[in-house]
Amino acid sequence: MNFIAMDFETANAQKHSACSLALVMVRNSQIVGEYYTLIKPETDFFWRNIQVHGIHPEDVKQAPKFPEVWETIAQYYNQHSLIVAHNAGFDTGVLAGCLDYYGLQQPSYLSLCTVKTSRKLYPEVPNHKLNTMCDFLNIPLNNHHDALEDSRACANILLHQERTFGVEPLKKLVLMK
């Protein structure tokens, strides 16, 4: 499998308030690269999300704004790219929200949600949250809500599913964004 696992953390409920982003690159079913950055959101406040991810306004004071980050990562988002996230609706929504906020063009790419694949393939699990699936599959998750840790976990969940079930049941859940 070839894909990129993506995870955003946000400052508040606004879709354009990304304050960190991680990408984990997978080629031939192996993790081959990682990207992580803090992002300086253009929002007036950090909300209770600080309690979730621990990122404070002073942590992102010198961080790049999203357009600078996009210049670095845009190459990974095209019609042939498979972007994977755990609860992909949230992460693809943050990406779309940031692009809209800055007037940047929305790319077309393929998307796959590991919450949906987990629900389909492991219906016996009581819930399909990232930490629950990591526990169930014995995948390390040392600092949940750290974007890079969450992206690694997401990548490893999908790789575990590929090894266990093959790619056919996964292909049925891929969407075009």
**35-90: per-residue pLDDT in tens?**
999 999 998 777 777 666 768 888 899 999 999 999 999 999 998 999 999 999 99
* Predicted local distance difference test score (pLDDT) of residue 51: 66
| Residues 160, 97: Cα–Cα separation, whole Å | 31
CATH of domain 3-176: 3.30.420.10
pTM of the model: 0.94
Q: How far is CA 29 from the centre of its chain?
A: 17
Average pLDDT rounded to a whole number, residues 146-156: 97
* Predicted local distance difference test score (pLDDT) of residue 55: 86
Q: How confident is the model at residue 145 (pLDDT cuts 50, 70, 90)?
A: confident
| Residue 144 pLDDT greater than 90, yes or no | no
**92-129: per-residue pLDDT in tens?**
999 999 999 999 999 999 999 999 999 999 999 999 99
* Predicted local distance difference test score (pLDDT) of residue 48: 77
